Amino acid sequence: SDVPGTFRELLGGGEVDAERIRSARILYLEGYLFDRPEAKAAFRQAADIATKAGRQVALSLSDPFCVDRHRPEFLKLIKESVDILFANETEVISLYETANFDAAARQVQTDTKLSALTRSEKGSVILSAGRSIAIPAAPVAKVVDTTGAGDLYAAGFLFGVATGKDHEAAGRLGSLAAGEIISHLGARPEVKLAELAREQGLLG
């Protein structure tokens, strides 16, 4: 872009594309964009458009420091507007200011319809309607670079949800995508994720 600054600095109501949101199955919001008042308003605006159009709203907390800065507003947004929450272990513990993951998981289960909580080598936990599903981490020969792991997990999980997979299959898709990305440098897959999913029997 020839506009000075980054998208993080510029996110506001002008960047919200109502028609694109209405045409999507799921709106995905990333918490690291939440800092400025204009950005918070844009999040609420986008979530409202999606909800009124019968679409789902997903939020990734993205960063524990961002959670620390905006805890009350994140909690309000989650309780009022979010259908699917993504958080890693550190982020969800920070969100609820609890001593451990299990306590945070109990809290998040009361506040969300569906949550995917990632735990690095421990895999992830999918929480919905009183149900908890443990998803193992995808086996990786060597962890090289964790950049993008959370985003790829969310991408795989949301693909599963959007294509009608059950929550366990969606979690396995997320785990598979995250496992691929941490096996090499950089945040873009080096192999086709669809092929990996087919090899694992997760795609027809």
- Mind telling me the catalytic residues? 151
Burial of 46 (0-12, 13-18, 19+ CB in 10 A): buried
Residue type, 95: L
Rounded CA-CA distance 66/95 in Å is 10
Letter string b/e over residues 18-29, b meaning 16 or more CB atoms within 10 A of that residue's CB? eeebeeeebbbb
For 66, the 3-state DSSP assignment is helix
| Beta carbons within 8 Å of 91's beta carbon, 6+ residues apart | 61, 62, 63, 64, 67
Rounded CA-CA distance 101/73 in Å is 21
Do 101 and 69 touch, CB atoms closer than 8 A? Answer: no
